C-alpha cells in the first residue's frame, strides 16, 4: 500500500507539474490579449486634438482679418506698420510653415512594438527608444529614453485596437487643472 501511495503521489506530482507549466505558459497571453495585437510597426495617420485645431483655426482667422478696418495710424500704433498686407503675408507664411510641420509630425510618425518589450519611436528628424507593456486597464506603460539620454515614464490609454488600426489617447498635463488631449490613429505597416 505504501508503494501504491508513493506511485500515485508521483503521478500527481507529474500532472501538477505539467498543469503548472501549461498555466504559466498561457498566463501572459491570458493576462492581456491586446498586447499581442500591438506587436509590429504602426504609422500615424490622423491626430484629433480639439484645442490645437481650435488654436489653428482661430489663428488663421486672426491672420486673415488683422488690421482690416483700422486706420493707418491705428495699425502703426498696434502693429508697428502701416502696410498690413505685407505683414499678413509674412505672418501667414510663418503660420503655414508651422502648420505643415505639425501635419508632418501627425502623419509621418511611427511606433514599433517588439515582442521583447522594446519600443522605437520614429518622429520626423528624431528617434527615441524604450520599453513597453500593456496593463490590465489597456494603458500602455512606456519607459522611454530620448536622444539626450533622459528617461521619461509615459502612460497612454489604448482607446481602440484591431489587427489593422489603433487609436491612442495622449494626455499631457499642462497645469494642475489643465490638460491637452490628443487622439492619435495609427495604421499597421508591413515590415
pLDDT in tens, the chain (191 residues): 445 444 444 443 434 333 333 333 333 433 456 788 999 999 999 988 888 888 989 999 999 999 999 999 999 999 999 999 999 999 999 999 988 888 877 788 899 999 999 999 998 888 889 999 999 999 999 998 877 888 889 899 999 999 999 999 988 877 887 778 889 999 999 86
The SS3 call for residue 3 is helix
**Residue whose grid cell is 520626423:** 124
Q: How far apart are CA 72 and CA 78, in angstroms?
A: 10
pLDDT at 17: 36
What is the CB-side half-sphere exposure of residue 116 using CA atoms within 13 A?
A: 4
Query: Which H/E stretch holds residue 106?
Result: helix 84-108
**Closest by CA position to 188, among listed 44, 65, 89, 78:** 44
pLDDT at 11: 44
Cell of 155: 502612460
- The CA-to-CA distance between both ends of the chain, in Å, stands at 62
pLDDT at 126: 86
Q: What are phi and psi of 82, to 5 degrees?
A: -105, -35
Under CATH, which number does the domain 33-189 receive?
Answer: 2.40.128
pLDDT at 191: 67
pLDDT at 32: 53
Q: How far apart are CA 132 and CA 168, in angstroms?
A: 14
Amino acid at each position: 500500500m505504501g508503494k501504491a501511495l508513493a506511485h500515485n503521489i508521483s503521478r500527481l506530482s507529474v500532472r501538477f507539474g505539467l498543469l503548472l507549466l501549461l498555466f504559466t505558459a498561457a498566463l501572459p497571453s491570458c493576462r492581456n490579449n491586446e498586447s499581442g495585437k500591438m506587436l509590429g510597426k504602426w504609422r500615424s495617420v490622423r491626430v484629433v486634438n480639439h484645442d490645437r485645431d481650435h488654436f489653428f483655426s482661430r489663428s488663421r482667422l486672426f491672420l486673415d482679418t488683422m488690421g482690416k478696418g483700422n486706420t493707418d495710424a491705428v495699425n502703426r500704433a498696434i502693429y508697428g506698420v502701416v502696410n498690413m498686407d505685407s505683414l499678413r503675408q509674412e505672418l501667414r507664411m510663418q503660420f503655414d510653415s508651422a502648420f505643415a510641420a505639425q501635419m508632418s509630425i501627425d502623419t509621418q510618425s511611427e511606433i514599433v512594438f517588439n515582442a521583447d518589450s522594446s519600443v522605437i519611436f520614429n518622429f520626423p528628424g528624431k528617434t527615441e527608444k524604450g520599453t513597453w507593456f500593456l496593463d490590465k486597464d489597456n494603458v500602455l506603460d512606456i519607459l522611454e529614453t530620448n536622444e539626450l539620454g533622459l528617461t521619461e515614464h509615459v502612460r497612454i490609454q489604448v482607446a481602440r485596437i484591431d489587427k489593422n488600426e489603433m487609436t491612442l489617447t495622449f494626455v499631457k498635463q499642462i497645469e494642475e487643472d489643465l490638460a491637452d488631449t490628443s487622439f492619435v490613429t495609427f495604421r499597421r505597416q508591413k515590415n
